[in-house]
Chains A and B, each alone.
Chain A
Amino acid sequence: MSHDELKHITPTLHKIAKNGNGFTVPDGYFKSLEIPKIDSGLSVPEGYFDTLESKVLDKVAIHHKKFGISKMLIAASFTLLLAFIGFKYFPKGNDIQYAEIENWIENGTIDINSYELASLYQEEIDNISFTDFISQEEIENYLNNDINTLYYIE
């Protein structure tokens, strides 16, 4: 029963209850009952937490760059591939569905490797400007860690 409930039923008892039961305990009694806590003993380098945010933000910025470029490369590759297929294998005016093209590729009907594709569109590829420099190590890390990229590679 809460104190407010008691106030309505019996104001006298409410007053007494408000003052508690009158018992006290020796100083530090409850502290003496606690089991001494053992800490984990683990520590961190000095200033570690001060630099964390900037490290993460740098990585996020790099991720954006890589993600943007890799998306662009993938999109460019697909566009080139589809354009090539369209010009080489289908007469003008034919209404070809993407699914049909995918089937052709999957069934191996079109036998073309990436070097042949690149040589056909060398000029266009040369004109693509990549202003952001990404080191070999960064690319390897990205390819090793990004599941989406692995999917595209497979």
Chain B
Amino acid sequence: MNEQLLVAQLKDTRTAEQGFKTLMSLYKKRLYWHIRNMVFNHDDADDILQETFIKVYKNIDSFKGESKLYSWLYRIATNESINFLNKKAKTLQMDNLELQDYLIQNLKTDVYFEGDDIQLKLHKAIATLPDKQQLVFKMRYFEEMKYEEISEILETSVGALKANYHHAAKKIEQFIVKH
């Protein structure tokens, strides 16, 4: 569906609900995996995804179309996930790295984690990266997004993203070889 039409549908009270259903059906999986890759736990990802869609519904009038709709959605989802992680770190009195380690440890007993030692090692390796590199790496590696799409969402140049991804991949490789 044409993005402009969808936005118009969402902004019109008579068609908003139908538009919202279309929006969710188009983006629910992509946004879910984006969030899940950041927060690891399914229930947390579910809460954040629902909150993301509710925010979209409540704030669609403030969407001026200056960026693409999907990049606006991803930005909301990313911010919601970061806020969640910050709150969780504060509650557990941990810094970001400790929290990542804690979340990855929890995966071992998570029924919705089907990975083995290799996957755990990969997550541990990603957790050692700076926040922005983690995000770029996950969007490119797990979500298989194009650099141009990531660039729109994170408002970073494609060149900088490629450099980010390159450094991230190198560091992860080194980590996996060492451990």
A-side interface residues toward B, CB under 8 Å?
37-45, 48-49, 52-53, 55-57, 59-60, 63
Docked CA distance A137–B113 (Å):
32
B-side interface residues toward A, CB under 8 Å?
17, 20-21, 24-25, 28-29, 32-33, 36-37, 40, 42, 46, 49-50, 53-54, 57-58, 107, 112-116, 118-120, 122-123, 141-142
A59 CB, nearest partner CB in chain B, Å: 6
Using A39-B142, A45-B112, A49-B32 as known contacts, list a sample of 9 further A-B pairs with CB atoms less than 8 Å apart, ordered by residue number in A.
A39-B115, A40-B115, A40-B142, A41-B119, A41-B123, A42-B33, A43-B114, A49-B28, A59-B50
**Interface pairs A-B: 10 shortest CB-CB:** A41-B115, A41-B119, A56-B53, A53-B24, A43-B112, A43-B114, A38-B122, A40-B142, A56-B50, A60-B57
Chain B residues in 8 Å Cβ range of A38: 118-119, 122
For B142, give the chain A residue with the smallest CB separation. A40
For B57, give the chain A residue with the smallest CB separation. A60
For A62, give the chain B residue with the smallest CB separation. B54
CB pair B53 A41 closer than 8 Å? no
Docked CA distance A43–B28 (Å):
15
CB pair B112 A56 closer than 8 Å? no
